[in-house]
């Protein structure tokens, strides 16, 4: 299945300033598949090494690090030549070998002719340790679950995806296409963006099998938590993770430590939540009381929301029934709009709005997302249905003298005075079209 990141990989390969590449992403988002596909299509050969399955590979990197010596040993190990410029070298699950991460510095300094990509499921955790991370000596990319646009292409709706991505204004599209996009979005809410789930759906159209795959992926995440942390840390991280669906299902989606356990405190779970963020399993949305640049300077560290990396996995954890897909548009508002808000967070992150914020003013008003684009602040209110009430959005606009305000709803594209309405399926276009 095609991924949008493929074009970025091509740009990396052809760059005059190419460095060894680190590809980050949670487990099961398709890192290994896309790299092997890239190697097969764009290089003469691919040299693939998995540091989780073959722990002995670490020994090649433990002595005095010499890129040429490492290449010589890896060539002997694979019984094939590793050629400069012509071979893509893939170091997979490299979080299991800190020495290999360190070696990337020397490849950058002394052996730029080799094309190297390092990937791993928990690289965010390992990269937090500066002694193992080659700062300034690598390029970085992130791979996420399929966006809605990628999902459309993945299930064979290529023309529909082209229609969506080529929209340049807020002029309403034909009702027949609007309805089809809404129906596909409902399916995406259930299936989500994990590659294996999408592939199984395209092969079988069986949602029970999709749900089984989602459940298995969730199980591997719990296993990772247990495997890579102490017993005490594992219990705390798992409690925080398991509390999230219930917290998102509430009207007020602010993360509350008391929902983890009765006596839970911020100081006890800060590191646990950071572990989930670094592992790529959750996205953090900070609260701001003032909308001024830089937003990071006005966020409250202890007030935030947490969203799942994938809407399909959220549905699996909440036990979302298949019946909601055919029950009108109830799916969009189920669990107090939890799916719609989580979906919006996903779409924003995958479309390069990696720092998420929301604004609140006491108990009077709240705007779901505040993002920065080209040094400008853009608010986005997300509605689960056709509701066009914009009290909070208008309060925000008046307070900060915003020339334009945006909302995402079930409605078609429309420009209503100062308010730009994006259909939910088109959040990826926010705020590029006005």
d(Cα 343, Cα 312) in Å, to the nearest integer? 9
Q: Evaluate whether 364 touches 395 at the Cβ level (below 8 Å).
A: yes
Query: Whole-model pTM?
Result: 0.93
Both structure tokens of 424: 């939910």
d(Cα 109, Cα 112) in Å, to the nearest integer? 7
Residue showing tokens 């002694």: 131
Contacts of 233 (CB under 8 A, 6+ apart): 271, 272, 275
- Average pLDDT value over all residues in the chain: 92
pLDDT at residue number 127 = 52
Map out the domains of the chain as residue ranges. Answer: 5-142, 148-429
- Within 13 Å and on the Cβ side, how many CA atoms surround 211? 13
pLDDT at residue number 131 = 52
pLDDT at residue number 322 = 85
pLDDT at residue number 88 = 98
Q: Evaluate whether 249 touches 338 at the Cβ level (below 8 Å).
A: yes
Q: Evaluate whether 23 touches 31 at the Cβ level (below 8 Å).
A: yes
**Domain 5-142, what fold?**
Rossmann fold (3.40.50)
pLDDT at residue number 304 = 95
Sites in the chain below the pLDDT cut of 50: none
Q: Evaluate whether 404 touches 415 at the Cβ level (below 8 Å).
A: no
């Amino acid at each position: 299945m095609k991924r949008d990141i493929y074009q970025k990989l091509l740009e990396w390969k052809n760059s005059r300033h190419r460095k060894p590449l680190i590809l980050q992403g949670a487990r099961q988002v398709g890192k290994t598949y896309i790299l092997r596909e890239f190697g097969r299509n764009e290089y003469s050969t691919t040299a693939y090494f998995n540091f989780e399955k073959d722990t002995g590979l670490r020994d090649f990197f433990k002595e005095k690090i010499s890129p040429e010596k490492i290449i010589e040993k890896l060539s002997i190990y694979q019984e094939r030549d590793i050629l400069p410029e012509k071979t893509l070298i893939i170091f997979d699950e490299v979080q299991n070998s800190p020495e290999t991460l360190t070696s990337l510095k020397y490849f950058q300094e002394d052996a730029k002719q080799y094309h190297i990509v390092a990937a791993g499921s928990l690289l965010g955790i390992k990269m937090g340790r500066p002694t193992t991370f080659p700062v300034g000596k690598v390029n970085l990319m992130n791979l996420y679950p399929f966006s809605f646009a990628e999902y459309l292409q993945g299930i064979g709706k290529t023309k529909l995806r082209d229609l969506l991505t080529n929209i340049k204004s807020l002029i309403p599209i034909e009702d027949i296409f609007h309805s089809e996009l809404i129906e596909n979005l409902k399916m995406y809410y259930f299936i989500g963006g994990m590659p294996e789930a999408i592939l199984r759906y395209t092969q079988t159209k069986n949602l029970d099998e999709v749900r089984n795959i989602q459940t298995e992926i969730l199980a591997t995440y719990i296993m990772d938590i247990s495997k890579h942390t102490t017993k005490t840390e594992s219990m705390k991280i798992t409690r925080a993770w398991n509390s999230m669906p219930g917290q998102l299902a509430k009207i007020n989606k602010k993360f509350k430590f008391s929902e983890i356990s009765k006596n839970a405190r911020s100081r006890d779970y800060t590191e646990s939540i950071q572990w989930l963020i670094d592992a790529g399993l959750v996205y953090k949305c900070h609260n701001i009381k003032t909308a001024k640049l830089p937003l990071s300077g006005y966020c409250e560290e202890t007030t935030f929301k947490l969203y799942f990396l994938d809407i399909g996995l959220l549905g699996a954890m909440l036990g979302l029934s298949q019946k909601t897909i055919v029950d009108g548009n109830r799916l969009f508002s189920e669990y107090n709009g939890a799916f719609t808000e989580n979906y919006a967070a996903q779409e924003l992150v995958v479309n390069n709005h990696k720092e998420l914020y929301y604004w609140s003013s006491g108990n009077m008003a709240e705007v779901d997302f505040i993002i920065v684009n080209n040094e400008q602040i853009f608010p986005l209110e997300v509605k689960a249905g056709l509701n066009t009430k914009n009290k909070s959005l208008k309060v925000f606009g008046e307070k900060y003298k915003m020339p334009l305000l945006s909302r995402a709803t079930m409605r078609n594209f429309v420009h209503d005075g100062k308010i730009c309405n994006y259909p939910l399926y088109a959040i990826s276009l926010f705020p590029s079209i006005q």
